[in-house]
Chains A and B, each alone.
Chain A
Amino acid sequence: MSTDTRRGPGRGRGLAPVYLGYVVAALIFFGPVLFMVWSAFRRNVDITGSIFDVTSPLTLDNFTNLFERFAFLYYIRNSFIIAGGSTLLGLLLGVPAAYVIVRRRLAAVGFMTLLARMAPGVMFVLPLFVLSVNIGAPSNNTLNFLLLIAAHLIITLPLCVWLLIPFFEDIPVSLEEAAMLDGCTVGQRFRNVVLPLALPGLSVAVTLSFIFSWNFFLFALALANSDTVPLPVIAFNFIGQGASDYGGLMAASALISLPAFLLTILAQRWLVRGLTGGAVK
């Protein structure tokens, strides 16, 4: 790559200062995450010792503890039910909606999905909590899961619509017109022509919705009962229980973050759109 391909004011500089900047920035912004993962593999006595002691032995005890003493697998399952359910529902509702928004050029509706992403979550918690009490959800695990999935739909549905819009925009109208000439109904056209072409978009929407729902804290904090709590809330509850069991807390944090880390590697470009609401393509 020649230096001429550089754009903007940065062209024509040496590489060394740039990489020095990379190191400093990575130390600051990646350091704490690295520290979290590292601490997850250290013994408590070392975590509370010096951070400069990089030769301290590594161990899996923090993780085995989580699974054996705190039944972490159970909470992972809960997280999967809630994030999986809300992603699936978000997709079922969001895919046709995004398609109509694009084909009918409903720019205003498309923009409103962005506004839905901006609404403060606390607004929804109180009404949902009252609803939950009225329908007896606190004592009924199935109802509780359904309510949590519905609540997380507030996150996944706008996100799905928002992410899918550019993918549907890329499908040429002429293809659909050809299908229409061949006598396809709206449903057939959607199933056989549009959906297969939007497949990459669907996978992006699935991954991002899943992660955002997986990470979400507030709704489960207020609505989940002790059988339905997902990972973020159970990790929060650990703070009081395992008084300064930092190894356990860091192992839990690392496990919660695992899907997100994988996503950063796999779908970086789409992550940016998901996080910035389209400000960056």
Chain B
Amino acid sequence: MPTATETQRQARDGGDVAHRWPRHRPSQRHFPGATPVSRGLWPLMLPAVVVTGLLVLMPVVYTVWLSISDRRPDGSNAGFVGVANFSQMFDDPLFWDSVQVTLFLLVVCLVAETLLGLALGYLLSIDVPGRRIFQGVMLIPAITASVAVALVWLLIYDPTLGPANQILDAVGIDPVVWLGDPDIAPWSIAIVDIWQWTPLMALIIAAGIRALPNEPFEAAGIDGASNWAKARHIGLPLLMPVISVAVLLRTVDLVRFFDTVYVMTQGGPVNSTNTLNVYGYRSAFIDQEASYAAALQLSLLLLVVMIAGVFTWWRRRRTIEY
């Protein structure tokens, strides 16, 4: 608590001009007598830091230990085994299959979500009455619990009773075995992800489109550029930063693709939808190979950290606004 003289000195030195200072500037540089607002705050942060440390760092450290030791299904640990789990991983065709499945879903979903997101984003960017309501409706797939999404798509994909095949039948196309055929199942899973996340992508892109300056388009219009040329050569380059953010966000989520796949196929049929994440989970909880699962999960973490690194580096180049 400041003493009476301190308060008086602050008042004399101009305490009431405080509001003129730029926000967040440490006060003492301009105003030596005052206690800066930011002083003595760090204890407030301590609980969150400690809990985050316990919750996030300890599991990571423990996973590293698991991956270089040999934990048995009965809970005992045979101790340090070096890189054995990792060399087992590199020799495991299922691991490479799961990497392939993960990358397949990543590429297919990203391409489709970006292209569809651009189209839908353009639609969402146009100011017409009812735009906000439409935007709200478009948000629903992203906010619906992934388990509920997976369950409704299980019904949609039902080979005999599902609407997907009923609709195909109505337009004269043969029924498709959506989830039972190893060649088709990855595509079916991709469709669900595309369905769930394209609208969010579109929303991000729409915000970008609405922030575009008008002048370049007007200038190009005066020069006689077609609408397509304007969109392709002015709009798209200006939108690139926004699109990259959306793509990176989706990339991080797609690499950890789990809920929908696990509920719908549990990685099957014949491991055709066995993403790295699902494989890591199954190794731990179904095959009971904790140490091997730890190695798989670390490889997944490495992938996410690499992507997050790109993301960080990319945001650093722009201004950081948290």
Contact = CB atoms under 8 A, between A and B. Distances in A.
Contact of A52 (B123, B166, B304): B166
Interface in B57-111: 58-60, 62-63, 66, 75
Max count, chain A CB within 10 A of own CB: residue among B42, B52, B158, B322: B322
Nearest to B141: A29
Contact of B290 (A116, A126, A186): A126
Q: What band does the interface of chain B fall in when counting residues whose beta carbon is under 8 Å from A?
A: 35 or more
A271 B143 contact: yes
B153 interface: yes
A33 to B, nearest CB: 5
Interface in B150-167: 151-156, 158, 161, 163, 166-167
Interface in A1-34: 1, 5-11, 13, 15, 18-19, 21-22, 25-26, 28-30, 32-33
Interface in A91-134: 92-94, 96-97, 99-105, 107, 110-111, 115-116, 118-130, 133
Contact of B300 (A120, A235, A257): A120
Contact of B123 (A22, A93, A257, A272): A22
Contact of A26 (B132, B134, B315): B134
A213 B122 CA distance: 32
Nearest to A160: B48
B19 interface: yes
B5 interface: no
A19 B230 CA distance: 23
A177 interface: yes
A10 B122 contact: yes
Contact of B148 (A92, A124, A235): A235
A33 B144 contact: yes
Max count, chain B CB within 10 A of own CB: residue among A32, A124, A221: A32
Nearest to B146: A217
Given A94-B48, A272-B203, A32 B19 contact: no
Interface stretch (B171-179, B182-190, B254-262): B254-262
Contact of A8 (B147, B210, B284): B210
A190 interface: yes
Nearest to B44: A96
A263 B301 contact: no
A30 B138 CA distance: 7
Contacts of A28: 195
Interface of A, helix, strand, loop or mixed by DSSP? helix
Interface string B101-140: 0000000000000000000101101111110101111111
20 contacts: A7-B125, A10-B126, A26-B138, A29-B198, A35-B156, A39-B152, A50-B166, A92-B47, A97-B47, A104-B38, A123-B301, A126-B63, A126-B290, A133-B75, A249-B151, A268-B132, A272-B203, A276-B204, A278-B322, A280-B204
Interface of B: 1-2, 7, 10-11, 15, 18-19, 21, 23-24, 27, 34-35, 37-38, 40-42, 44-45, 47-49, 51-52, 55-56, 58-60, 62-63, 66, 75, 120, 122-123, 125-130, 132, 134-148, 151-156, 158, 161, 163, 166-167, 170, 195, 198-200, 203-204, 207, 209-212, 214, 217, 227, 230-231, 235, 242, 245-246, 249, 252, 255-256, 258-259, 262-263, 277, 280-281, 284-285, 290, 293-294, 297, 300-301, 304, 307-308, 312, 315, 320-322
